[in-house]
Amino acid sequence: MRNVWTVAEYTVREALARKIFVAFFIVSSLGVALTALIVSFIDSAQLSAGVEAAGTALGREAIVAQIFFFLKTPLVAVAILLSIFAVANLVPLMMERGTIELFLSKPVTRAEALTGRFIGGLLVVLANVFYLVFFIWVIISGKLGVWHLPALYLVLTILLAFASLNAIIVLIGVWTRSSILGMMTAYFVFLALSPALSYREYLYELGGGDALKIILDSLYYVLPKTSEVLGSTTDALIGGGALDWQPALTTLAFTAVAFGAALYSFWKKDF
């Protein structure tokens, strides 16, 4: 396990050296600054009156939750899109001639090298996502005077959704050594396929009968459910509603299987 964390640390340092972390941090800072600017225009007196009208501490927290529901879509879009771009070439770079020989010359197994690379990418993303969400939460909560801690669950759901996409990027990176193909596939799953499958009931009406239903249901249960993890699951965690664990658990299972396939393929590679 020590070797895994050594590789993960090296990956984070590499991201810093290549300015990936810095670029992500700058964009996140712009998001925080924009939120602060928008919140500064809110009339405190009217806001206080609205909060008092809600009546209770629960009402105050509900207002914070509603604001996060409103901000969630742009926050998620910025975080996921930048995260995919930030880590897409970590595995292809490691597999370049000269670099992979350096990795394998160390007392590190192939599984440890790839796992450390995967975890290092997650750490880079976690640091930036936490910074973005936490300071926006501080700005909003400070304005309202209500510190609704469940709003921070957004960090965890973004990380889970990204981990599943990162597993796809790593798997394709091992198969093809291409960062572009992995990045395009992850974007397609996040922006098109997962949202479409979350509304598959409406697609049944297009025709195709039972065959279409079987295909769509199979894809739905096999592929990561990023749309639902970042949608209904996040809403339930932040707002305190009924929580359906199925999207999160099946997304976690997909991540484990996809990364396991990447490990096997990497072990079989002839370097």
pLDDT at position 207 is 66
pLDDT at position 210 is 75
| Burial annotation 147-156 (CB, 10 A radius, 16+ → b, else e) | ebeebbbbbb
Distance CA 219, CA 217 (A): 5
Cβ–Cβ < 8 Å for 35, 140? yes
Lowest mean pLDDT among 11-15, 126-130, 168-172: 11-15
Please tell me which residue, 254 or 103, carries the higher pLDDT value.
254
Domain boundaries, the chain: 2-268
Concatenate the DSSP letters of all residues of 171-207 into one string: HHHHHH--HHHHHHHHHHIIIIIHHHHHTHHHHGGGS
The structure's pTM equals: 0.89
pLDDT at position 84 is 93
Which is nearest to 203 in space by CA: 185, 215, 191?
215
Distance CA 223, CA 193 (A): 9
Please tell me which residue, 205 or 136, carries the higher pLDDT value.
136
pLDDT at position 101 is 78
Percentage of residues of the chain with pLDDT beyond 70: 91
Q: What is the tens place of the pLDDT at every residue in 117-127?
A: 999 999 999 99
Q: Which residue has the tokens 């350096």?
A: 102
3-state secondary structure of 50: helix
* Averaged pLDDT, 187-210: 83
Categorize the per-residue pLDDT at 153 as very low, low, confident or very high, splitting at 50, 70 and 90: very high
* Averaged pLDDT, 215-229: 91
Rg, Å, the chain Cα set: 21
Residue 195 has pLDDT above 80, yes or no: yes
Amino acid in the structure at residue 105? S
Q: What is the tens place of the pLDDT at every residue in 17-66?
A: 887 788 888 988 998 998 888 877 766 555 555 555 555 545 667 777 77
DSSP 232: I
pLDDT at position 127 is 92
pLDDT at position 199 is 85
Residues with Cβ within 8 Å of residue 93, at least 6 apart in sequence: 99, 179
Distance CA 43, CA 23 (A): 33
What's the mean per-residue pLDDT of the chain? 86
pLDDT at position 52 is 56
Structure tokens at 87: 């880590």
Q: Which of 13-17, 103-107, 203-207 has the highest mean pLDDT?
A: 13-17
Q: What is the tens place of the pLDDT at every residue in 162-190?
A: 999 999 999 999 999 999 999 999 999 99
